Amino acid sequence: MPDILIRKTARAGHITLDRPEALNALTWEMCRAIDTALEDWRSDPDIALVLIDAAGNRAFCAGGDIAEMYEAGQRGDFDYGAQFWADEYRLNLKLSRYDKPIVSFLHGFTMGGGVGIGCHGSHRIVCESSRIAMPECGIGLIPDVGGSLLLARAPGRLGLYLGLTGARMSPGDAIQCGFADHFLPEDSWPALKTTLSDTGDIAALQPETPPPSDLAKNQPQIDTLFEASTVELILDALDAAGTDLAEKTAAQIRRNSPLSMACALTLITRLTESSTLAEALNWEYRFTSRAARYGDFLEGIRAAIIEKGSTPNWRHPIGGISGDDLARMLAPVPNPPIAEGDIP
């Protein structure tokens, strides 16, 4: 099908996202195609492992294709986005539980929906150009596709920093924060893919030492600045600190949706090391399924995508989020995407 290449190459099932002009943004049809391929290959004795990569030089996948969701929301159709997210989240869980190795090659930008496709498999490879981020609070969403759990499991308060700011991780940062496993220079990737395909042997993957992580270096400062329990108190700490990092971080936070950040902080804080991906996805769905109707999603897309660079008019000021606001966005939903029986 257009936008994605799915084929068998010797011992590998090979999926290539193929929308380079759109930074390989993920459509609903692409999600369905990946899901079908994974089901077909699960019982195929010829397939020993799965490779996921992307066309073009700029991005593995810069997020979900949100144009259709925006147009549907403008028409008052809020079911379209909710159904898309439900299918996407079930695919994220399937990738995490797949019983054959999944090797993802995360070059360039990997953000939002790209994290959901590329960062839940068993072997996640980054290179020099890799920049991974969860920037959803900037468009009126929250870190989703299981990103909330990855953020919750990052060392110290780094996950809160990344979730509230949308800051981009370098390859060293991504490994430090649990979004990737291995570093390999990008020029070595073609030969590795060939070897993995020919042999079906994951032992062919021999990673190199990753570049250093700036986030690891800055973690003591970030842990202190993000120890408060609300976004407004975190901003108070940032403003009082007066460091370059604190000033840059405060500016990033002030651009984002206050409602999204308050809910993201609640969710990332709630999730723990004992939480499962299935639980996190269902929590995320509580917010995303309501984001167009009750949140800032449509306004965020208008400002960031439709009228690029315009200032969004968020529903709430920072510090203006009530307990009722949080409860409305994070209350249980009648039909969560992951059935209770599928949550261990």
The band of 335, judged by pLDDT with boundaries at 50, 70 and 90, is very high
User: Over the stretch 246-261, which tens digit does the pLDDT of each residue have?
Assistant: 999 999 999 999 999 9
118 catalytic residue (yes or no):
no
The count of other CB atoms within 10 Å of the CB of residue 176 is 22
Of 25, 109, 113, 112, which is closest to residue 67 (Cα–Cα)?
Answer: 25
**DSSP SS3 for 20:** helix
- As a whole number, the mean pLDDT across the chain is 96
- Based on the structure, what is the number of domains in the chain? 1
Q: Catalytic residue among 18, 53, 65, 144, which?
A: 144
The band of 341, judged by pLDDT with boundaries at 50, 70 and 90, is confident
pLDDT exceeds 90 at position 241? yes
Question: What pLDDT does 254 receive?
Answer: 97
Sheet with strand 131-133: strands edge to edge: 59-61, 109-111, 131-133
Q: Catalytic residue among 63, 64, 114, 118, which?
A: 64
pTM of the predicted structure, to 2 decimals: 0.97
Q: How far apart are CA 246 and CA 258, in angstroms?
A: 18
Angle at 63 between CA 58 and CA 68, to 5 degrees: 120
Q: Catalytic residue among 13, 73, 112, 113, which?
A: 113
The count of other CB atoms within 10 Å of the CB of residue 46 is 11
Q: Which H or E run contains 150?
A: helix 147-153
Q: Tokens at residue 264, please? A: 């993201």
Residue-number span of the structural domain to which 118 is assigned? 4-342
Q: What is the DSSP letter of 142?
A: -
The band of 1, judged by pLDDT with boundaries at 50, 70 and 90, is confident
144 catalytic residue (yes or no):
yes
Question: What pLDDT does 68 receive?
Answer: 84
Q: What is the CATH number of the domain that holds 99?
A: 3.90.226.10
Q: Tokens at residue 259, please? A: 């409602």
Q: Catalytic residue among 65, 136, 181, 325, which?
A: 136
The count of other CB atoms within 10 Å of the CB of residue 296 is 26
User: Over the stretch 289-334, which tens digit does the pLDDT of each residue have?
Assistant: 999 999 999 999 999 988 988 999 999 999 999 999 999 999 999 9
325 catalytic residue (yes or no):
no
Question: What pLDDT does 340 receive?
Answer: 77
User: Over the stretch 182-192, which tens digit does the pLDDT of each residue have?
Assistant: 999 999 999 99
156 catalytic residue (yes or no):
no
pLDDT exceeds 80 at position 152? yes
